[in-house]
Amino acid sequence: MSTLDGLFKALAVVALSSLSAASENVSTANAGFPAAAPSATTMPTLEVAATNTLTLNSAHSFDITLSATDQRTGHSGEGQAIPQNDIFGYFSIPTLTGNAANPEVFVKILDASGIGQGYWVFYGGLTDLEYTLSVQENSTGTIKRYHKSPGSSGGGFDTSGFDTPQGDPAETAPCSPASPALSSGEAPSGSEHTLTLNSAHAFDIILDATDQRTGHSGEGQAIPQNDIFGYFSIPTLTGNAANPEVFVKILDASGIGQGYWVFFGGLTDLDYTLSVRENATGHVKSYHKAGGSACGGFDTSGFDLIATPTPTPTPSSGSPVIVNVAQSGAMTFSPSTAVIHAGDTVQWNFKDDTGYHSTTSGTCTFDPYGYGGGGCTPLPGSVNWDSGQRLGGDQFSWLFSTAGSYRYYCSVHGDMMTGTIRVNP
């Protein structure tokens, strides 16, 4: 990351000269793109750092820049271009996010001239920042600007081409907040369809898409990028395994006392469902995007909500907080998230008369075989308990003196049977 920063700083002083050539090309614009209409913006020269410009579709090129504003601070920053292939790339905004590798806004240009249309622009973000994307058709100098409002998760598709631009395209309709469906379940693991992010606390992500025009469905093909971000193509629907359709980013906000945040967005109008599985708990959140919509979503509610929609804080009363283990033979800790205060004691009451279970501090990654606690790792540090394997009628207690969120599992049933103790100050 620091290497990238250094590279960008070194290149930041290089003026971009290619833009100034654009206006000279108007008279030789190809038949699909006559000279810009009066309402279109032309910009003969522009002082832009070269690495801030993303150039796509080299056969008929477009230069793309991004400027963003953090609505919370009022600070602004330019996007740093991260090219991917000839039709697609993205921007990070290191001056606002502090991370040159954190993808924020994606752009794709599709050449639809083969079907008698122009060039299509798709854009989308994994960000709630306000931004404006400027797309210049270099042969004509025509610029279209796409604005996204602060807080919105929307992106856009513009299939109107650059022939007769009617000024800057209107922003697409506002997006309602992501409303994931919550469940606990399995996810296929280790296949080309599974995107695994945030290896320190892993999430397995899969995509199912449907073309609302044909009714055909297809699975996403995972294209990992870095530890926090990747995307999917949908070759069975688009015919192009390199054509990016849906992007996902996971941010670990546990350092600021929150959970894991999910950002997603697409460069597609297809109907899709993204399933994000927290491997340590088996909790799955499913995000649906309707066909035709350009919306994406942010979900900062974390993955603990599934088990306990309304955790009930328990006062420090001196009496232990009870967690039932495998009541009625279910592979559960109940409540699966117990909310207590520092200084409280949790008492696990083992309820299964015929099977052994344990309460063991630590986290699990997905174990396709379920049994045996495979892939489960004890917590580091001094908060490290293990009841051993016990039968119904037994009890085990542990005093929590330090605030935090402590995950645990059953050493018999592994990631099939996990829980959390959330200790408030």
Binding stretches for Cu ion (CB under 5 A): 357, 410, 412-413, 417
Which C-beta is closer to Cu ion: that of 120 or that of 356?
356
Which C-beta is closer to Cu ion: that of 60 or that of 357?
357
**How distant is the alpha carbon of residue 106 from its chain centre?**
12
The distance of closest approach from Cβ of residue 123 to Cu ion in the complex, given in angstroms and rounded to an integer, is 48
| DSSP structure class, residue 301 | S
Which C-beta is closer to Cu ion: that of 305 or that of 391?
391
The distance of closest approach from Cβ of residue 67 to Cu ion in the complex, given in angstroms and rounded to an integer, is 54
Q: How far apart are CA 124 and CA 132, in angstroms?
A: 11
The distance of closest approach from Cβ of residue 418 to Cu ion in the complex, given in angstroms and rounded to an integer, is 10
Q: How far apart are CA 76 and CA 51, in angstroms?
A: 17
Give the C-alpha distances (Å, rounded to integers) separating 357 from 253, 372, 405.
31, 11, 22
Which C-beta is closer to Cu ion: that of 108 or that of 357?
357
The distance of closest approach from Cβ of residue 411 to Cu ion in the complex, given in angstroms and rounded to an integer, is 8
CB-based contact 304:316 (threshold 8 Å): no
| Residue linked to tokens 């002082």 | 47
| Residue linked to tokens 């963003």 | 68
**How distant is the alpha carbon of residue 120 from its chain centre?**
24
Contacts 24+ apart (CB under 8 A), 233-239: 234/207, 234/209, 234/268, 234/270, 237/209, 237/211, 237/270
**How distant is the alpha carbon of residue 229 from its chain centre?**
7
Which of 75, 54, 76, 57 lies closest to 65 in space, CA to CA? 54
C-alpha triplet 226, 228, 231: angle, nearest 5°: 70
Q: How far apart are CA 318 and CA 335, in angstroms?
A: 19
**What are the backbone dihedrals phi and psi of residue 238, each rounded to the nearest 5 degrees, phi first?**
-100, -15
The distance of closest approach from Cβ of residue 262 to Cu ion in the complex, given in angstroms and rounded to an integer, is 29
The distance of closest approach from Cβ of residue 377 to Cu ion in the complex, given in angstroms and rounded to an integer, is 17
Alpha-carbon torsion (27, 28, 31, 33), positive or negative: negative
What is the residue type of 281?
Answer: T
The distance of closest approach from Cβ of residue 321 to Cu ion in the complex, given in angstroms and rounded to an integer, is 20
The distance of closest approach from Cβ of residue 378 to Cu ion in the complex, given in angstroms and rounded to an integer, is 16
Which C-beta is closer to Cu ion: that of 205 or that of 410?
410
The distance of closest approach from Cβ of residue 365 to Cu ion in the complex, given in angstroms and rounded to an integer, is 17
- Helix (H) or strand (E) holding 221, with range, is strand 221-226
Which C-beta is closer to Cu ion: that of 211 or that of 415?
415
Which C-beta is closer to Cu ion: that of 261 or that of 356?
356
Which C-beta is closer to Cu ion: that of 407 or that of 413?
413
Which C-beta is closer to Cu ion: that of 260 or that of 348?
348
Cis peptide before 169 (omega within 30 of 0): no
